[in-house]
Amino acid sequence: MRRYEHPHRLLAIGLAALAGFVDALGFLKLGGMFVSFMSGNSTRLAVGVAGDPRGSLFVGAVIAAFVIGVMAGATVGRVAGRWRKQAVLGFVLLELIVAASLDSGPVVAPLLMASAMGALNAVFQRDGEVSVGVTYMTGTLVKFGQHLAAALAGGPRFAWVPYLLLWLGLVTGAIAGAAVYPALGLTALWIAVAATALLLAGTVAIGPVREV
């Protein structure tokens, strides 16, 4: 995060908020499964295998959909070259539109949501690797803690701030998703669609990346 300019940091926080919003909708729809937090789903899968393997089948499908989304996002980004951020967000937007159109579909919509969240991680890449994880926060919290400890020891005073803001972005988005779900259900995905369109417009304003 520290290596990115201010507009890109704002974009990352916006993407984290989007991921939190969609993940909260998926969590409530699926009764405790995630569509972006695959560490939690991996634990659920393992517990299901040890207990009732049949109950872990859909968790495995969600994880597979996420990985397929990562692959699709990486492919789209590679083909788009310097416009990869815009192309990947366009792909995410398309998947969320289809998922929202399915409304309360019990299977397909959550799988599309998971795929979209997987693809979302391809927005920020360096040398073919994810440079800012916007759908998972464990690494972000580790870096937040490390930089905060360094600041207390006399190091850079505010290097921890970008990581805290990224985490707060996801949490804020998740709170918003949880707040609207009781009234709207998965129809609230149209809010995510609108937010993705705004983020896409923001990336167009930022322009292409400087290097492929």
pLDDT along the chain (212 residues), means of 10: 70 94 95 91 89 80 96 94 94 96 79 96 76 81 92 90 93 97 95 97 87 50
* pLDDT score, position 165: 93
Structure tokens that stand for 69 in this block: 């989304």
What is the pTM assigned to this prediction?
0.91
* pLDDT score, position 212: 45
Which residues, including other chains, have CB under 8 Å from residue 140's CB and lie 6 or more apart? 133, 163, 166, 167
Q: Please state, in angstroms and rounded to a whole number, the distance separating the CA atoms of residues 30 and 47.
A: 17
* pLDDT score, position 100: 94
* pLDDT score, position 105: 61
* pLDDT score, position 190: 97
Q: Please state, in angstroms and rounded to a whole number, the distance separating the CA atoms of residues 176 and 25.
A: 9
Of 168, 173, 133, the residue nearest 20 (C-alpha): 173
Instruction: Give the DSSP letter of residue 187.
Output: G
Three-class SS state of 15 = helix
* pLDDT score, position 51: 76
* pLDDT score, position 5: 65
Q: Please state, in angstroms and rounded to a whole number, the distance separating the CA atoms of residues 205 and 151.
A: 34
Q: Please state, in angstroms and rounded to a whole number, the distance separating the CA atoms of residues 201 and 90.
A: 10
Three-class SS state of 125 = strand
Of 198, 200, 199, 175, the residue nearest 25 (C-alpha): 175
Q: Please state, in angstroms and rounded to a whole number, the distance separating the CA atoms of residues 186 and 96.
A: 11
The type of residue at 16 is: A
